[in-house]
Chain A
Amino acid sequence: MSLQLDFPAVLERWPSFVAGAVLTLELAAFATVLGALLGTLAAVGRGAHNALIAGACKAYVETIRNTPLLVQIFLVYFGLASLGLKFSAFTVAVAALTINVGAYTAEIMRAGFEAIPRGQIEAAEGLALSRLQIYWHIILLPAIEKVYPALTSQFVLLMLASSVCSQISAEELTAVANYIQSDTYRAFETYIIVAVLYVILSLVMRAGFWGLGLVLFPRRRRLGTPL
């Protein structure tokens, strides 16, 4: 049997593909923002003097980083259900992705915090800055600036990983593809189109983060390249 591809039959569903891609970007955007906050808190917590807080943050990061996202999604999905809480699949997906990317963000942010020279903090103390001011101006913002390329590629990976959410029938690009291929019996063509769309989405995200980096960190010379 030779390979016969029929793209028009699948491409006529383009409005569904576009809608799926938009949903994937939405899912990724929610999880990125919430995960960045959670991860930063966890990174701060890991450096806490209170051993309980530091230990809890470490346990969170190590547990998440050493188990598959698919298992985490199922645990959140069924865990919430067994508590009698009913949420939409999309909400569960955002929650699971947030918990997941939070752990990776925490590791990256910790590296950023560790890269802040001790002398800078001492200098800030010498200038009588408040603890909050030191945390914001001397530690947090410069740390984000240092790890910005690593952070953004983690967020692009998160967008790609969000395809796993199709397994709890959250609506996004891969779920749309699963539906279209079962409807048209054109599985190979469908997934080729979806793969191309994901490549485009990741290029768009990288270009977006690169542009954002230029705006946020004007003094930064070397940014992660968009490609």
Chain B
Amino acid sequence: MGGHLNINHLMFLGQGALWTIGLSLVALIGGGIVGFVIALARISPLKSVRIASAVYVQLIQGTPLLVILFLGYFGLAAIGLKVSPLAAAGASLTLYVAAYLGEIWRGCIQSVPKPQWEAAEGLALSRTQRMTKVILPQAIRIATPPTVGFMVQIIKNTSLASVVGFVELMRSGQIVNNSLFEPFAIYAIIAVTYFAMCYPLSLFSQRLEQRMGRGRSNLAPA
């Protein structure tokens, strides 16, 4: 205890911030890949696939991320896998992000106007061709603003990885606080750092939305 906040502490916090960005990217890419599969499965012609993916989404969206992180952390250990906190946090966040991104993207795919689907069918395109050549290119445009908005949620949610011992921004703040015990000042610095990462993305998302002329802002979880 004792001492003052010095450059070493700030360096340590900076390193934590880099890990926050790294974990966010892992969650975005992993969750994006799984989420894309979920989105396609939700509109699959096979009823069983539709139901299975809907159940997945309902289960994940009905469970707090904190509990999913604990499940990933202890669950992987329980089946005998020795995993690092990064792997456990990355896997849990991937599952979590996939459920939300999957639902967002399903909505975007389905909001491509119906005549587009019919025209593609009328041109005798196969289901794959219809998706890749007609529907997805349009859906990606619609999906960009909400996806950027959801990236803010991902960054904020990585703060929970601190509870399974992953040293990202929040955890490094807690560690620094353990030696200095100036919680209010340190958590204020942490809050400002998160804000500096998230606010530009929020603004960017809003700009994209306005450009697309649809006024839906990101109303995703805390």
- Interface centre among B215, B221, B222, by most chain A C-beta atoms within 10 angstroms, is B222
CA distance in complex: A166, B64 (Å): 12
Please, how many residues of chain A have a CB less than 8 angstroms from a CB on the other chain?
A: 52
Beta-carbon contacts of A129-153 to B below 8 Å, as 1s and 0s?
A: 0000000000000000000001000
Residues of B within 8 A of A88 (CB): none
Contact B62 A191 (CB under 8 A): no
Known: A71-B187, A198-B67. A100 touches B170 (CB 8 A): no
CA distance in complex: A198, B59 (Å): 9
CA distance in complex: A215, B217 (Å): 28
B202 within 8 A of A: yes
B204 within 8 A of A: no
CA distance in complex: A11, B152 (Å): 37
Question: Which B residues have a C-beta under 8 Å from some C-beta of A?
Answer: 58-59, 61-68, 70-71, 74-75, 77-80, 152, 156-157, 159-160, 162-163, 170, 183-184, 187-188, 190-191, 194-195, 198-199, 202, 215, 217, 219, 221-222
Question: Which A residues have a C-beta under 8 Å from some C-beta of B?
Answer: 1-3, 5, 62-63, 65-72, 74-75, 78-79, 81-82, 100-101, 104, 107-108, 111, 114, 150, 154, 157-158, 160-164, 166-167, 174, 177, 181, 187-188, 191-192, 194-195, 198-199, 202-203, 227
Minimum-distance CB pairs A-B, first 10 = A1-B80, A78-B183, A199-B62, A163-B64, A187-B74, A68-B159, A66-B198, A68-B156, A202-B62, A188-B78
- What would 5 A/B residue contacts be, using CB atoms closer than 8 Å? A162-B64, A163-B64, A164-B66, A187-B77, A198-B62
In addition to A177-B70, A187-B78, A191-B70, 6 A-B residue pairs with Cβ atoms within 8 Å of each other are: A3-B79, A66-B194, A68-B159, A72-B191, A164-B66, A167-B163
